[in-house]
Amino acid sequence: MKDSDKVPPIIVVKKKKGHGGHHGGAWKVAYADFVTAMMALFIVLWIMSQSQSIREAVAAYFKEPGVFTSGKQGGIMPGEPLIFPKNPPISGDPHEREITKLREEGKKLGEMIASYPAFEKFRDRIEINVAEDGMRIELIENSEGLFFDIGSAKVKKETEELLRMIAGELGKLENEIVIEGHTDARPYITPGYSNWELSVDRANAARKILEENGLRKNQVIMVKGLADRALKNPEKPLDFSNRRVAIVVTIPKGKNHLKREEAGIGVKLQKIN
């Protein structure tokens, strides 16, 4: 075959179009991210422009969304047309917020104490109440002397463990604390020593343990011995239930004007499941 008869090779040249990148998908991802960020910004700005109650309701949802559904425990109350948390949003009123906070802290503390088998014997002798003067944690004696030796300010071993637990929780709060000692009306038989001394010595013994195990420095602002001047059971002044120590988590000044029926709750440990 002559060279002139050879067929020249066919060369195919493919040219890339200059704007082909517009048909890719990377820009869509970036655009979606931008739109999402803008939407989040607008939601935040909207929430910030709403009332305090709405902002707190939104915050409550993200803390525990399950309480907003009727199919879960703690959801809508029967007959309620709107969906709200089991505990309503905290009011903008400072003293109402304080009452709500102490109510939650009291319930938490009561459940912690009730969960410890070592504190089983204390279950019906500890009361946690929230009222106008704050949260009161009362350690109420029985006839044998449950928390202290009878007629003495000597703290029993199990009581020390209990006070350590209480101190660890109360030390996290900003509230100041008052500790009260109470006795029944039975006269103290030792010369030179009366129910006044006994009540203040027991309160002070409790203070020392609390401060050594979690309370902040200067969190305790007062230790009071009231002897038999504030009986728990006035109709039975000699009853052992009058002998008690009360740890009072106070409400800051200016926030304690609620009536007892408006703010009061009671938690007895034997009722906690």
- Is the pLDDT score of 110 beyond 70? yes
265, 130 contact by CB (below 8 A): yes
State the average pLDDT for the chain: 78
97, 252 contact by CB (below 8 A): no
Which of the pair, 80 or 246, is modelled with greater confidence?
Answer: 246
Q: Which residue type, as a one-letter code, is found at position 20?
A: G
Residue 60 confidence (pLDDT): 62
Confidence of residue 57 (pLDDT cuts 50, 70, 90): low
Q: Please give the Cα distance from 11 to 74 (Å, whole number).
A: 77
- Mean pLDDT (whole number) for 127-153: 92
How buried is 68 (Cβ within 10 angstroms: 0-12 exposed, 13-18 middle, 19+ buried)? middle
- Is the pLDDT score of 218 beyond 90? yes
Q: Range(s) for CATH 3.30.1330.60 in the chain?
A: 94-271
Q: What are the backbone dihedrals phi and psi of residue 134, each rounded to the nearest 5 degrees, phi first?
A: 125, -160
Which of 85-94, 122-131, 222-231 has the lowest average pLDDT? Answer: 85-94
Residue 82 confidence (pLDDT): 34
- Mean pLDDT (whole number) for 82-108: 71
Residue 92 confidence (pLDDT): 61
Pick the CATH number of 94-271 from 2.30.40.10, 3.50.70.10, 3.30.1330.60, 3.10.20.310: 3.30.1330.60
- Is the pLDDT score of 261 beyond 80? no
Q: Please give the Cα distance from 234 to 262 (Å, whole number).
A: 24
- Mean pLDDT (whole number) for 224-250: 95
- Mean pLDDT (whole number) for 172-180: 95
Residue 17 confidence (pLDDT): 56
Please give the biggest Cα pair distance in the chain: 143
